[in-house]
Structure 1
């Protein structure tokens, strides 16, 4: 019997959706898998399990621990949510169920939201790729590589240097231009209630 999955709260859903948006835009393979999942197609891990008789030895796994913050400043996150709501009505879209809408309706709405989100990103951030090579090209990784910027996948043997195929160039923020605010009391109000009188 499958355990019931606990619903996620808004903030993890927002950042998850935000990250998935860029992953969807950056990788054609990932976008195709998402489309297939949306159409109800089963992936290999959902199909009838097969008995694995081959033994695979993992030489070494490179894992990077998530950063630990002593304090959390939510003002910047609230400010970004406000900007996305103002320009793209992002929160309206995320909070509303799209189950009853056709793919064409969702696609039309997504085009407008994409335009607004892109405007916010261009106005307030400078974003560049982590790796300058093009996707699917062969790249060399030195033994003293920065594990926060480069993620090695597959079988990682020895201490390097390594060579492999670039699956995704990664993203990094090189400049942030969020408006400076002096009063942060109302940043949790992402959009005021609108009343016509």
Structure 2
């Protein structure tokens, strides 16, 4: 990372980027280790500066539970999920397409269809629930013995808790996975067959 402060990324780039990061995380142990370091609070270069200590937590942000670092990767589930996202949402077609020449309205129309297909896959094969049950922007209290994998404290944190702050995002967690069992891995890397009209 450079010393230049990073700019915030909008929702749609985060939405589509998350899929690429998921498979990069699952397929690259070194990358996963770097993600774990950042998730555990290790500072980036531009963040390495003294913090002012106050008595309260100003902001609370809750995030998904981070997957443990993997010594080896089972690709079957990742390839199966990519197949489903291509089949129902044409996601691979979209991310492989160069969209620089398209207008915002065209990209937005395509994103609407992809969003519908992705939502179908997620709802059909995963049960997802918020990490925190309170509504966004509400005041919440975090116990001193909170799970840092489920809750990330933002702002200036001091003391051992409990902490009080504003819930910025409730987070997401998978409570059940309903992917079909992979009985044969032959051809699993083919996300979509080539189509030939004769």
TM-score, normalised relative to structure 1:
0.69
Q: Which residue of 1 is the match for residue 168 of structure 2?
A: 167
Q: Which residue of 2 is the match for residue 138 of structure 1?
A: 139
- In the alignment, structure 2 segments of 5+ residues that lack a partner are 3-13, 22-49, 55-64
Task: Quote the Cα distance in structure 2 between the aligned partners of 1:139 and 1:14.
Answer: 27
| Counterpart contact for 2:66–2:149, Cα < 8 Å | no
Q: Deviations over 1:12-53 (max 9, x none)?
A: x99833389xxxxxxxxxxxxxxxxxxxxxxxxxxxxxxxxx
Task: Quote the Cα distance in structure 2 between the aligned partners of 1:151 and 1:14.
Answer: 20
Q: Which residue of 2 is the match for residue 40 of structure 1?
A: none
Q: How far does residue 69 in structure 1 lie from its aligned partner after superposition?
A: 1.2
Q: Which residue of 1 is the match for residue 74 of structure 2?
A: 73
Q: Which residue of 2 is the match for residue 7 of structure 1?
A: none
Match of 1:57 among 52, 56, 67: 52
The reply on whether 1:87 has 2:82 as its aligned counterpart is no
4+ runs deviating over 2 angstroms: 13-20, 55-59, 64-67
RMSD: 2.6
TM-score, normalised relative to structure 2:
0.69
Q: Which moved more, 1:64-73 or 1:110-119?
A: 64-73
Tell which has more relative contact order, 1 or 2 (C-alpha 8 A, sep 6+): 2
Q: Deviations over 1:61-90 (max 9, x none)?
A: xxx997321221111010000000000100
Task: Quote the Cα distance in structure 2 between the aligned partners of 1:187 and 1:58.
Answer: 52
Q: Which residue of 1 is the match for residue 115 of structure 2?
A: 114
Q: Which structure is larger by alpha-carbon Rg, 1 or 2?
A: 1
Task: Quote the Cα distance in structure 2 between the aligned partners of 1:71 and 1:15.
Answer: 25
Classify 1:135/1:19 alpha carbon distance in 2 versus 1 (closer, same or farther; 3 Å): farther
Task: Quote the Cα distance in structure 2 between the aligned partners of 1:88 and 1:126.
Answer: 19
Classify 1:65/1:195 alpha carbon distance in 2 versus 1 (closer, same or farther; 3 Å): closer
Task: Quote the Cα distance in structure 1 between the aligned partners of 2:133 and 2:15.
Answer: 28
SS at match of 2:152: coil
SS at match of 1:152: strand
The reply on whether 1:129 has 2:124 as its aligned counterpart is no
Task: Quote the Cα distance in structure 2 between the aligned partners of 1:125 and 1:66.
Answer: 16
Classify 1:189/1:14 alpha carbon distance in 2 versus 1 (closer, same or farther; 3 Å): farther
Classify 1:188/1:131 alpha carbon distance in 2 versus 1 (closer, same or farther; 3 Å): same
| Counterpart contact for 2:143–2:161, Cα < 8 Å | yes
